[in-house]
Amino acid sequence: MKILGIESSCDETAAAVVEDGRRVLSNIVASQIDEHRLYGGVVPEIASRRHIESISQVVKEAMDGAGLGFSDIDAVAVTYAPGLIGALLVGLSYAKGLSLSAGLPLVGVHHVAGHIAANYITHPDLEPPFLCLVISGGNSHIVSVESYTSYMVIGRTRDDAAGECFDKVARTIGFPYPGGKYIDGAAENGDRTAFRFTHPKISGEGYDMSFSGLKTAVINLVRNAEQRGEELSREDVAASFQKTVADILGETFGRAAKDLRSKKLVVAGGVSANTEIRRKMKALADSLGAKLWLPELRYCGDNAAMIAAQGYYDFLAGRRADMSLNAAATMSLEEISI
């Protein structure tokens, strides 16, 4: 079964064709990042306009890349939530038009479910149930993935997402947006013990996380040094910060894995590209005698192959959308569980 996936929830216009949820026949991503970088972050209005300009061409390239016509496609899967509302609406409206004109079933896909499904592409052996740490620019969740279409969110950030924290710290030490990968690069040459940042204290039981205190601590460190006329090594700041994020994620995810006795651990989302976090998760899985699955680097960030992969499983579960499907800026995974 061949699914055409369409993704436009933030600043990437993407289309892909995936067979049986696992085999990628084409995967096109048009990034707008160079333009948003001028403003230090994604400008929603610009994002919507650029999606409108590129979507037809991106879908055409995905179809040409797969060597297929619309009559070879079984369904169109499109991200409809969560994300920037104007950006989502472009992909969704395009997918609706395509569904009507080509007579194809339409499947609405949750963006975070898509990130989790990126692992199905990389790992043909991976099947639910498993425990998943989803870390991206907009989300940080610990999710018990019960089946291909059913989720229980057992932990979440109480404030900033992990990626948001990376991007703000990166900006403070002078890296362009989005700064996660620059922190990752700089940290390779830094001393991770140069600065000590305290871990957040989260009230209550459970597996919630918090990153805004850490972000403020790094900003204060840098600003205070500037006021004293001292120069800090940004490699050292990057390495110490990154180690703290990895420790917080490792501690929380590790505790959840132990409590739930989960031996199948999965990481997903843009921040799962991070070298230190990947190392930390491997060490964590080894210490628990668990198996770890990480997405290939090209499927960590936003793409449409992951939407087509999840769309396949949603389709098999009977999920169909009609022309009344609307986009939503926020939506929990539990709301869409079947």
Residues making contact with ligand KG4 (CB under 6 A): 10, 136-138, 163, 166-167, 178-181, 184, 269-271, 273-274, 301-302
Residues 6+ away with beta carbon under 8 Å from 297: 273
Q: How many CB atoms lie within 10 A of CB 258?
A: 12
CB of 11 to ligand KG4, least distance (A): 9
CB of 238 to ligand KG4, least distance (A): 10
- Measured from the CB atom, the residue of 276 and 314 that comes closer to ligand KG4 is 276
- Measured from the CB atom, the residue of 63 and 300 that comes closer to ligand KG4 is 300
Q: How far apart are CA 302 and CA 182, in angstroms?
A: 18
CB of 297 to ligand KG4, least distance (A): 8
Structure-block tokens of residue 140: 């940080």
DSSP one-letter string for 111-128: HHHHHHHHHHHH-TT--S
CB of 97 to ligand KG4, least distance (A): 24
Task: Give the chain's length.
Answer: 338
Return the closest-CA partner of residue 28 out of 51, 48, 5: 5
CB of 71 to ligand KG4, least distance (A): 32
Q: How far apart are CA 102 and CA 100, in angstroms?
A: 6
- Measured from the CB atom, the residue of 55 and 273 that comes closer to ligand KG4 is 273
- Measured from the CB atom, the residue of 65 and 176 that comes closer to ligand KG4 is 176
- Measured from the CB atom, the residue of 99 and 215 that comes closer to ligand KG4 is 215
CB of 273 to ligand KG4, least distance (A): 4
Identify how many contiguous H helices and E strands the chain contains and give both numbers.
11, 10
- Rounded to 5°, the CA angle 205-208-212 comes to 130
- Measured from the CB atom, the residue of 262 and 272 that comes closer to ligand KG4 is 272
Which parts of 188-318 fold into alpha helices (H)?
212-227, 234-259, 275-288, 305-316
